[in-house]
Amino acid sequence: MKQRRPRGAGRDTADGWLPHVAECLASYVYLLRDPREVRPFYIGKGVGGRCFAHLVEARRTRQDSSRDFKKLDTIRAIEGRGDRVVIEILRHGLNELTALAIESAAIDLLGLKDLVNIVSGHHSGRAHVEDLNARYGAKPAQISKHHPVVLIRIARHYHALIEEQALYDVTRSWWRIAKRRCNPETPGSPRWAFAVFDGVVRAVFEIDGWEEPDPKDFAHDPGREGRRAFVGRRSMVMEKRYRLTDVTRWLPKGSQSPLRFVNCE
């Protein structure tokens, strides 16, 4: 029976590391999780593309699979309904012995509490595959002079598993932006909005126009007065060029403004 292709397949980096990322990770401990569940169904350790190998194995027929039918059947069930298996890296930058010790401890803890509670602020702590690809594999963006864009920093709201609607909402609203920049058809106005987290583009939206908040909203949210939100849609064409690229060269250190205009003069 032919496997259904997971939603979003081919549009992101969830099936492998970007060039040179694997060598930055050294040995690591990883989790496989159903996107509808908090607890992982599998914990492993490895190097290189080991965390993705289970997906490759599961996409073979059951007869061709070598072992571990329960894990592979779980992966097939998730992908069979059109979802993606969530791969998270619990720790990276390890040697093999340390990775083995952490793997064993994490497996033991599964019987005690949800692993989602084991979170550290350390730079090599738990992270989603896309976050590590962005951290170690993002190449400097080359923004064409023909692409007037606004870079929008969404640091307080972004996480790797953010839903599409939520990502759109936190990117589009509510910003202090001059009226002269609110007509995408005129010079000085951005035609695309880049959602930026940690200096890396996470999504691109084509801007159709801008709207002002309803004055009735000022009563419970006075901070919206004088601000605007764009109306638009996700641009997959632009994302092929700019998603997961590094735009820090346009983001001055110490700047408090969440908006940065490029090619909008």
Quote the crossing angle between the two packed helices 69-80 and 50-58, to the nearest 10°. 80
Query: 247, 241, 237: which is closest to 140 by C-alpha?
Result: 247
User: Residue 153 corresponds to which tokens in the numbers above?
Assistant: 């920093």
Lookup: tokens for 23: 């060598």
**What is the 3-class SS of 162-178, one letter each residue?**
CCHHHHHHHHHCCECCC
- 233, 208 in Cβ contact below 8 A? yes
Residue 35 burial by Cβ neighbours in a 10 Å radius (0-12, 13-18, 19+): exposed
Whole-prediction pTM: 0.63
Tens digit of pLDDT per residue, the chain (265 long)? 444 444 443 334 457 898 889 989 999 999 999 999 988 989 999 999 999 999 998 887 665 555 567 888 899 999 999 999 999 999 999 998 999 888 888 887 775 444 333 334 345 566 778 888 888 889 999 999 999 999 999 987 887 778 899 999 999 999 999 999 998 888 899 999 999 998 999 999 999 999 998 877 666 667 677 899 999 999 999 999 999 999 999 998 877 789 999 999 8
CB 204 within 8 A of CB 212: no
Q: How far is CA 211 from CA 1, 168, 172, in A?
A: 49, 15, 10
Q: Report which of 63, 76, 84, 61 is spatially closest to residue 12, judged by C-alpha positions.
A: 84
Tell me the residue type at 179. K
| CA dist., res. 60 & res. 120, Å (int) | 36
Identity (one letter) of the amino acid at 166? A
In 3D space, the residue among 79, 3, 98, 86 whose CA is nearest the CA of residue 41 turns out to be 86
Separate counts of helices (H) and strands (E) for the chain: 7, 11
